[in-house]
A and B are shown apart, each in its own frame.
Chain A
């Protein structure tokens, strides 16, 4: 676990301009979808990124794959900065960072056969000399994800959601990437299929030793796959730590709120009080963005943004009152 990180993200920012400037307005409004996110992923490690919808977790994944343009910060893959590369300079590196998309019905081109879809990455990255070789690789990969190689002649509409997601995973794994970003990879699937696909992802990750950024809002799923977990709120990471630290010893009030909202049948269990709705990312609250929902909030929370405080064992939490809360919790 002490190896140098495969991916090192520092102070990542992705801001979006909202609409166009009005003639007499005060300039453009900016949505800070991701605003200063730092984390690292080691080789073979699974880091989960959790948070409510709109917290910016998907934008982190899309920025790292250069589908969105970063507004600031750095991301080093094996020590090499990837956010400042031009799109064409980044293209050869795309092989190493692959993405599994959420919606398996939208992520496959309806006009291409499975073979055409899977042959494309091979062709672009020069991984197969001819069609025979490509077909052999495709067949092998389809078997790897639990599909009959004969399906490669068919079109996406002939498959179920679970099968389509397996094809999406095959498109990723066929490139033998070093980092896979799974963006809500199972949340669009039927619950009965979720476990199967999740186990497939977990197995493939373990067998290939690929690193993974697992983006999800589903804490049950996250608990199943992750080594470490980062909790995001309104464009920032509020707590990051090992799976045990986050699930057994959560320190940040928001993490506790999230954990207590997992529906479970435990008699007498109390839910952490939620004092409101998620804030609007276009006009975030002052100070700690979580303060309007936090029952521990004091004046300092309303005025100053908390910094990440080390709690030992690579466990960090961004809360002004972390010391008291830790004592309280112990």
Chain B
């Protein structure tokens, strides 16, 4: 399953990179004559209510998907990871910071994203930041626990005895031991960021409406569901397949990771 998932993700990645070269139509070109055309030739996935080519928009959507996925993962791991690590290492600071994280975690993920999104204007960067914040909380929580455990390891005592300072202990001794859980966490955030982004788009709070993303395509076409079901089927299928693939790949990564960390991730 993980192999199929990986192949699909490679396809999505290829589409994302090569979209401008391989699309048969400009995804923003309006063609009123051919609006709501059924899937066929030359519009493989049909056209939407403005006559825009759904296939081309799907390829550009892959681009957005990858962009938001990578952006959210980087943002969530960098901020959440740092907060979790520092909180556990400097426990006085941690008692303060982690209570803040607890408050954020008390909100359902989508609700938190909705609240944050209403405070900001719709843009790609803001979507990434908001989704990043949502998943930074879980990342911080996980790394907090693991760092608490790691800092009591004997090899940390040994490093202290060698004269290592705080930054050396944090980044040379603790961080390398957190790489496996971080990678696993990254794969899940990548998948959940898709769903979150699609949900935000669908609710009209995510990316600006003109941006061709899978979520926006769903959102715009929902009123045509009876007349042009392909407008929902194709982006919907793409989202399902991609999230499913990422979860499969993430599971495989988790299983192949250092067995020491298996138990620690299981609670996620």
Contacts and interface: CB of A to CB of B under 8 A. Distances in A.
Interface in A63-97: 65-67, 88, 91-92, 94-95, 97
Contacts of A67: 157, 160-161
B154 A120 contact: no
B163 A125 contact: yes
Given A109-B159, A111-B177, A101 B164 contact: no
A66 B161 CA distance: 8
Contacts of A95: 163
Given A107-B154, A107-B155, A108-B155, A124 B162 contact: yes
Nearest to A101: B154
B267 to A, nearest CB: 22
Contacts of A103: 154
B264 to A, nearest CB: 15
B155 A109 contact: yes
A112 B176 contact: yes
B153 A92 contact: no
A98 interface: yes
A168 B163 contact: no
Contact of A109 (B163, B177, B179): B177
Interface in A197-253: none
Contacts of B160: 66-67, 94
A119 to B, nearest CB: 10
Nearest to B161: A99
Contacts of B158: 99, 101, 107-108, 168, 171
A109 B165 contact: no
Nearest to A177: B161
A125 B163 CA distance: 8
Contact of B161 (A88, A92, A94, A112): A94
B173 interface: yes
B163 A94 contact: yes
Interface in B154-195: 154-155, 157-165, 168, 172-173, 176-177, 179
A110 interface: yes
A97 B160 CA distance: 12
The listed residue with most A CB atoms (<10 A of its CB), out of B163, B168, B176, B179, is: B163
A110 B176 CA distance: 9
A106 B153 CA distance: 7
A121 interface: yes
Nearest to A156: B155
Contacts of B176: 109, 111-112
Q: How large is the interface on B (under 10, 10 to 19, 20 to 34, 35 or more residues)?
A: 10 to 19
Nearest to B158: A107
A108 to B, nearest CB: 6
Nearest to A116: B172
A91 B157 CA distance: 13
B161 A98 contact: yes
Contacts of A102: 154
A65 B154 CA distance: 13
Contacts of A99: 157-158, 161
Nearest to A88: B165
A110 B153 CA distance: 11
Contacts of A175: 162
Contact of B162 (A62, A94, A106): A94
Given A65-B161, A94-B163, A125-B163, A110 B177 contact: yes
A57 B176 CA distance: 33
Contact of B164 (A106, A124, A168): A124
A168 B155 CA distance: 10
Contacts of A107: 154-155, 157-158
Contacts of A65: 161
A131 to B, nearest CB: 16
A102 B157 CA distance: 12
Given A99-B158, A106-B154, A107-B158, A92 B173 contact: no
Contacts of A111: 176-177, 179
A121 B160 CA distance: 10
A77 B164 CA distance: 21
Contacts of A108: 155, 158
Contacts of A101: 154, 157-158
A120 B159 contact: yes
Given A107-B154, A107-B155, A112-B176, A120 B164 contact: yes
Central interface residue in B158, B164, B172, B177, by most chain A CB within 10 Å: B158
A109 B151 CA distance: 12
B140 to A, nearest CB: 22
Given A101-B154, A121-B162, A124-B162, 16 more contacts: A62-B157, A67-B157, A94-B160, A94-B161, A94-B162, A97-B161, A98-B161, A106-B155, A110-B155, A111-B176, A112-B172, A120-B162, A124-B165, A124-B168, A168-B158, A171-B158
